[in-house]
Amino acid sequence: MSRECLVYICHSIVRPRTMTAAETEPRYPAGYIGGHLLLERVAAGDALAFGSLYDAFVADTYAICLYKCENPSSADKAMAKTWIFIWSHASALNEQAGSTKSIVLSTAWTVTSHRGRDLL
């Protein structure tokens, strides 16, 4: 199954639920900079965690993609690339400082800034 299919399948099979603060906010154990529960679970291949992350930030990431792209079709492609990038690089993203929201939105901004180049 392609990664693009996984993005769309995960969104359609995950039941809506409210995320807890523990899932969206960073945790800082001694000597550890990252530690975002959802990103940890996504890095481990948890499709349900990916669906929860997607549901939590889909509107914000789409707003960034729409702002940075010329038209809705390009924004849709940028969204797919953004979420494939998040799925593929969740482990590295988890190591970043800041909230889960800031990491996801900065990833969307970066991916759309490089839409002419292939980041995947």
CATH number at residue 44: 1.10.1740.10
Report d(CA 71, CA 24) in Å as an integer.
30
Report d(CA 55, CA 46) in Å as an integer.
14
Question: What is residue 120's DSSP assignment?
Answer: -
At 6, the pLDDT band (50, 70, 90 cuts) reads very low
Q: What pLDDT digit, counting tens, does each position of 20-66 carry?
A: 665 555 444 333 334 478 899 999 999 999 999 999 999 999 999 99
Reference 57, options 75, 83, 81, 35; nearest CA is 83
At 97, the pLDDT band (50, 70, 90 cuts) reads confident
Question: Quick check: is 60 in a domain?
Answer: yes
Q: How many CB atoms lie within 10 A of CB 16?
A: 7
Domain with 92, as residue range(s), is 3-11+34-113
Question: Quick check: is 20 in a domain?
Answer: no
Number of domains in the chain: 1
Question: Quick check: is 63 in a domain?
Answer: yes
Is the pTM higher than 0.75? Answer: no
Question: Quick check: is 26 in a domain?
Answer: no
Question: Quick check: is 54 in a domain?
Answer: yes
